[in-house]
Amino acid sequence: MRSPRLAEPAHDDGRPRLRVVIATPLARELVELIARDERLDVVWEPELLTDPEIDWMTGPKQRTPEEQVRYEALLDSAEVLFGVPDQSGRALARTVAANPRLRWVHTIPAGGGQQVRAARLSPDALERVVFTTSAGVHATPLAEFAVLGVLAGAKRLPWLQGMQRAHRWGPREPLGLLGETTVLVVGLGRIGRLTASMLTGLGCHVVGVHRHEVEAEVERIVPVAELAAAASEADAVVLALPGTDETRGMLSAEVLARIKPGATVVNVGRGTTVDEPALVEALRDGRVGLAVLDVTAVEPLPDDSPLWDMPNVVLAPHTAAISPHEPRLIAELFAENARRFLAGDPLLNVVNTREFY
């Protein structure tokens, strides 16, 4: 875009101006989309970033020492960052400490609060810099993946695949009906609410689990303290939770001990919300009939994890949120927040810096 330079304090007409540094891979047309607002001084040096066609979760670009100096100099000149530097809490901490002009960082993942948490920023830094996430951009693909998981359980996908692998045509056995399926949706944020709406539209009986009452297309909402009792009556449990201290291990050994025999577990939130060894045991003894997981406790999933080879597990490599429209939607969200920032209006998706979601 433009050659690196310090942002001018204002246009000739006195309007405020912001220096925005693109700190993470982004295609030229999307940088140009952001730069349509002439009040933004958008700085983009793609040679310092990985190819935007490569998944940013694969890791940062390997830079020469000279390139790293250039990259950090850009970060340290920014008032606003599009993306956490190298998706690294350590790099974010360095930048916040080195750049007292930094005022706002937009994180790319919906769960970008965890990147902020990893930076271990001081209270003063958390007060000075506002952080936002791309929450909501991924709601539709994740909700569709959750529906896939519920359908796979109701229609006995592991049994069908086992028959196919064994070259067995029959016996003919009944499959479940969605109209007779009760689904527990744990976490009624945007992803959970959309999942509940889709499942309700398919005829499922949907029960929500949430910390407080919210508007959602569910038959009822039960408090988190009643999760185990609710799970004992559900044919499927969908987890759509952020990764926080409060949600860590929420699908616990105690909950799994009471889960309805043969139930399906779907996770489109964060892997840390599941007691993974307890889930493996429940899959082995049949208490859980199928687990459909977009996320795991450790990612990438270690080679020695039993989840790889279990016939009643479907794994997605944290890819269920991705759609062809994801980068554009994130850029549009950032552009809207930039407009709000300049107008002094509340930003969308501000990170809660107590619970980091």
Return the active site residues.
270, 299, 318
CB atoms within 10 A of CB 260: 19
Question: Three-state SS across 88-139?
Answer: CHHHHHHHHHHCCCCCEEECCCCCCHHHHHHHCCCHHHHHHCEEECCCCCCH
Name the burial class of residue 164, with classes exposed (0-12), middle (13-18) and buried (19+) by CB atoms within 10 angstroms of its CB: exposed
Scored b (16 or more CB within 10 A) or e, 211-250 reads eeeeebbbeebbebeebeebbeebbbbbbbbbbbeebeeb
Measured CA to CA in angstroms, residue 142 lies from 43, 83, 107, 219, 249 at distances of 32, 21, 18, 21, 21
> How far, in Å, CA of 286 to CA of 222, rounded?
26
> How far, in Å, CA of 190 to CA of 336, rounded?
19
Tokens of 242: 């952020």
User: Beta strand 130-132 with 80-82: parallel, antiparallel or unpaired?
Assistant: unpaired
